Structure 1
Amino acid sequence: MNTSPFPLEPTAADAQAAIADEFGFFGDWSERYQYLIDLGHKLPEFPEDWKTDAHRLHGCTSLVWIVGEGDADKLTFHSISDSVIVSGLIYLALRVYSGRSAQEILATTPDYITHIGLAKHLSPTRSNGLAALLAFIRNRAELALGGG
């Protein structure tokens, strides 16, 4: 089984605040994109045998695979992309949501996207892919709570 470094912070709100603080250090978007790439390289190794169509996240132009496991008390997500910037976006989403309860996941709006300016600086295809990733996480949390 793949081990996850997440959560890094005690709550999803703390993770979003930490992300906003970190991105606040950078003066321009070329530096922020480089930081995203660096974060993407920090994702844990994703097993090759998980890279199947069953784990493929559709809605992304890049290849993205995601596996969710756990129950309503704690959901852990493992994901990777063939794109370095998308891998950085995955890292941020997992930092906020992975290792949290289904209730906390559903109660947490991804405010970090707006706070760090991602909403304005992502291409439409990357925005759609990020929306698909966040929808997958929310759906998994709803299923864990018996809904959806």
Structure 2
Amino acid sequence: MEKGSINEIQDQIIDEFSLLDGDMEMANIYLMELGQKLPELDEAHKIDDNLVKGCQSKVWLKTHFDDGRIIYQADSNTAITKGLVSLLVRILSDQQAEDIINADLYFIDKIGMNRFIGTQRSNGFGAMIKQMKLFAVAYNTKMKNQT
């Protein structure tokens, strides 16, 4: 199945959250459901080197590269945080490094995420985005140095 562009996936997420009609409790339940659908990260990858710094909860982020695309795998020890990272994996995984680096993650404002996740989680969410973009920058630099 062909994966959509970063913006197409964000638009799908905005549509999904619009059905919740701004209900914060429903949004949190939906986030937990999304987290449950995230494939389990192998225990061998739940190591300090894969922890996202700046998150209050534990968030592990692992990447690998496949045919010029970055594949992200993630997990968390809390349900809502796992749901949050699952959104980022859905949007950014299996995309070109350049697209990830330049991605404008407008879905965050469009769904009003900051209203229902609070400041601590918002900071952690920012740290997840930063880490994912840093992986993309590192990969992009490595690819350019090989040519």
> TM above 0.5, one fold?
yes
Structure with greater helix percent: 2
State the AA in 2 paired with 1:25.
L
**Are the aligned partners of 2:35 and 2:80 in contact in 1 as well (CA < 8 Å)?**
yes
Are 2:75 and 1:84 aligned? no
* 1:18 corresponding residue in structure 2: 12
**Which runs of no fewer than 5 residues in structure 2 stay unpaired?**
143-147
What is the TM-score normalised by the length of structure 2? 0.90
* C-alpha RMSD of matched pairs (Å): 1.7
* Aligned twin of 1:50: 45
CA offsets per residue over residues 20-55 of structure 1, 9 Å max, x none?
Answer: 000000121111111001000000011001111111
* Greater Cα shift, 37-46 or 105-114: 105-114
Q: For residues 28-107 of structure 1, what are the structure 2 equivalents within 5 Å? A: 28-70=23-65, 73-107=68-102
Aligned to 1:139: 134
Decide whether the 8 Å contact of 1:71 with 1:102 is kept in 2.
no
Structure 1: tracts of 5 or more residues without a match: 1-6
TM-score in terms of structure 1 length: 0.90
Cα deviation digits, residues 54-110 of structure 1 (max 9, x gap): 111111110111101116820011000011000110111111101100011112111
1:58 maps to amino acid: K
Q: Percent identity?
A: 29
* Higher CA-based Rg: 2
Verify: 1:117 aligned to 2:112, yes or no.
yes
Q: SS of the counterpart of 2:40?
A: coil
